[in-house]
Amino acid sequence: MQATHGRYLRMSLTILKIVGGAVLLCVPTALALYYMGKPAIHLLFQHGAFNAHSSALTSMALFGYAILAIPLAASIVGTVEAACLSLILFVRLRKKGRTDKGLLRLKMRRLQSARATIILADVGEVS
């Protein structure tokens, strides 16, 4: 939606927020799984036929997932692909940034304000 309206700078900021949010959610979740997984497995599952050995194996598997959660979330292939696509996107957005409608409006307002200031300064010098 932002690209169709010519708001390319806002779109690039949105992309950065989304990627940053994904990383900020992934890392704490992996750490929580790593530190709180074993007590949670013992509390929830260790009763009946699910003995201490089963609980230890399950918590070891959970630790593996917790440790691999960060690399899997940003796997090498996915990271390279995302980096290439992001590079292409940012190069194009940088070129399009010069035509960003919001930025052009801001430049025009600043230019008009500067002109008005110059005019007022000239009027003040004349009188």
pLDDT for 51-85, tens place per residue?
Answer: 989 888 888 888 877 777 666 666 655 666 777 77
Is residue 107 one of the residues assigned to a domain? Answer: no
How far CA 94 is from CA of 14, 47, 106, in Å, comes to 15, 59, 17
The reported pLDDT for the residue numbered 3 is 58
What is the extent of the structural domain holding 60?
8-101
Q: How many CA atoms lie within 13 A of 34 on its CB side?
A: 12
| Contact present, 26 and 79 (Cβ < 8 Å) | no
State the pTM of this model.
Answer: 0.44
Contacts for 26 with CB less than 8 Å, ≥ 6 apart: 69, 70, 73, 74
Tell me which residues of the chain have a pLDDT lower than 50: none
The reported pLDDT for the residue numbered 98 is 64
41 SS3 class: helix
The reported pLDDT for the residue numbered 79 is 67
Give the total number of structural domains in the chain: 1
Is residue 119 one of the residues assigned to a domain? Answer: no
